[in-house]
Amino acid sequence: MNAKELKKYFPILDQEVNGHPLVYLDSAATSQKPVQVIEAITDYYRQSNSNVHRGVHTLGNRATDLYEGARDKVRKFINAASTKEIVFLRGTTTALNLVAQSYGRANVKEGDEIVITLMEHHSNIIPWQQLAKQTGATLKYIPLQDDGTLSLEDVRKTVTPNTKIVSVMMVSNVLGTINPIAEITKIAHENGAVMVVDAAQAAPHMKVDVQQLDCDFLAFSGHKMCGPTGIGVLYGKEHLLDNMEPIEFGGEMIDFVGLYESTWKELPWKFEGGTPIIAGAIGLGAAIDFLSEIGMDAIEQHEHKLASYAMDIVTEIPGISVFGPKRGKDRASVVTFNLDDVHPHDVATVLDADGIAVRAGHHCAQTLMKWCKVSATARASFYLYNTEEDIDRFAASLLKTKEYFSDVF
Amino acid sequence: MSFNNLDQLYRQVIMDHYKNPRNKGSIDDGSVTVDMNNPTCGDRIHLTMKVEDGIVTDAKFDGEGCSISMSSASMMTQAIKGKNIDHAIKLSQIFSEMMLGNDYPDDLDLGDIEALQGVAKFPARIKCATLSWKAMEKGLEGEK
């Protein structure tokens, strides 16, 4: 694949920021959108906008076909067995909360254990903290190795027959660690627990095959994979979703409604109360078409090359500390770092003055920041539209930052 | 280097306060203690103030954060020491106006604080600058 050619599909990248051509290195926060996605959304609003699942009229049918068509695209994208297993929700956070509040409330009781890891994003911590508080279950953390990876031995030590839920991120948004989800799933299953996967940082960047992973639930967000904000996906194995109660009630999700009792639609619609996120799902479908045409393997290879290139250059800068695993196969295209004593906010402000967008802060991972023994870090994250030239600009600007602060200090 | 507008942000006096913070630490018998953080970025401040007969007789801060938040805290403690509560709160209001890029009354001596004016041009950094001031206001409101 040719990133320079692909960049042309992203109109937002063709602009100057503070007098410099924009280099966008914050795709782990949200990705940019190609014209194909932007057009799919505007075309829908210009030509097909209507409510779904209820119209006898032509537009209603067209909107329903587009919405359900997007669901099938998602199914194929993650190789789920059936569209019944694909629930459209607002994003990863909503999806994980649904699993915690529906599956969790029904299946976790006092004395049980919920197991997560020390590298999780807040969205895969707080829903389980709340569930533990509500049920009297214990929340346990799988520790991290010094290089920011998980050891299967630690997983085996932490997961026990009392564990009912194991929930792990597939790729770390801070460390770039790629976790061995299939192996962890096996351990969870051996102990009778269900396996939940936060794939928010994986689905955009690599092939995710839910049947190969054999996980029970998997969540991801559209906006990190070239789709719009406000749309996400919960995958769940059919027999599990089938036995779960909705947590949102109202229109669209009902079958029969009586004065005092009602019944729910079948899967997946019983979890999609209210008018669904129609344009969002269609936009996500267009994003999946875009990514699939390039090929997830090609994207993964490109990003791996970029990550290695960036790690080689950045780690050479004196005074820089990079968090997470060393360069290698099991490292995603995220470089989280601190530069000397310059606070990450100050680094990000100086880079921004150079037209380079990076994230600074705790990256929604305060527990992980504690583990890193810092209060904040700066992060550059790459995607299919980034090039080696972008990284050269980034590295040159880091050197300038260093120089600038040694001047003012 | 094409960092001219950065120089408006990182003024020499700001960097001086960052490198050599005034009133760093904690007052053991501080009558007012406020802990505040900026949940979006992880900056945090621990502010202790001694208030006697409506006058802030001492103020110290501890915390973690960027050059803007820490220098602002240093300047803030310097500015309120020896002032009465109303004066200190008025300074905070003036500071807020300054951060919004608005005109502010010029009847009070702002001293070093004026160096932070440039922050108004960097919207993402305004919250860094105002953290300690918000903490001070919160603490002193309870003493009124």
Closest chain A C-alpha to B56 CA, distance in angstroms = 30
Closest CA to A124 of A172, A54, A63: A172
Residue B111 is predicted with a pLDDT of 84
Catalytic residue among A215, A226, A364, A372: A364
Which residue, chain included where needed, has tokens 């749309």? A231
Give the minimum alpha-carbon distance from B3 to chain A in angstroms, rounded to a whole number.
Answer: 7
Here the tokens at position A37 are: 């996605």
Interface of A with B (CB under 8 A): 18-19, 343-346, 349-350, 352-353, 360-362, 366, 369, 375-376, 400, 403-404, 408-409
- Per the model's pLDDT, the better-predicted residue between B43 and A244 turns out to be A244
Q: Which residues pair with A37 in a beta bridge?
A: none
CB contact under 8 A, A361 and B41: yes
Residue A258 has φ and ψ, to the nearest 5°, of -110, 180
Q: Read off the pTM.
A: 0.93
Total beta-carbon pairs less than 8 A apart between chain A and chain B: 58
Q: Are A171 and A179 in contact (CB under 8 A)?
A: yes
Per-residue pLDDT tens for A345-385?
999 999 999 999 999 988 888 889 889 888 889 999 999 99
The whole-number pLDDT of residue B3 equals 55
Q: What mean pLDDT comes out for the span A309-334?
A: 91
Strand arrangement, sheet containing A377-381: A320-323, A334-339, A377-381, A359-361
Taking CB atoms and an 8 Å limit, are A376 and B68 in contact across chains? no
The domains located in chain A, with CATH, are 3-27+296-408 (3.90.1150.10), 38-292 (3.40.640.10)
* Cα of B88 to nearest chain A Cα, Å: 28
ipTM: 0.83
Whether A382 contacts A31, CB under 8 Å:
no
User: Which stretches within B35-122 are classed as H helix?
Assistant: 67-80, 85-99
Burial grade of A138 (CB within 10 A; 0-12, 13-18, 19 or more): middle
Residue type, B115: A
Structural contact between residues A219 and A95, judged by C-beta atoms closer than 8 angstroms: yes
Provide, as residue numbers in chain B, all residues whose Cβ is less than 8 Å from the Cβ of A349.
6, 9, 122, 124-125
Helix and strand counts by DSSP (H, E) for chain A:
15, 17
State whether A353 and B3 contact (CB < 8 Å). yes
Residue (of A52, A123, A74, A107) closest to A245 by Cα position = A107
Smallest Cβ–Cβ distance between A361 and the set B3, B40, B67 belongs to B40
Closest CA to A380 of A118, A29, A144: A29
Show me where the domains of chain B are located: 4-141
Q: Is B14 exposed, middle or buried (0-12, 13-18, 19+ CB in 10 A)?
A: buried
Helix H or strand E encompassing A254: strand A254-257
* Active-site residue, A364 included: yes
User: Taking chain B (144 residues) in consecutive chunks of 10 residues, what is each chunk's mean pLDDT?
Assistant: 70 90 91 89 91 96 93 96 95 94 86 90 91 96 84
What top-level class would CATH report for the domain B4-141? Answer: alpha beta
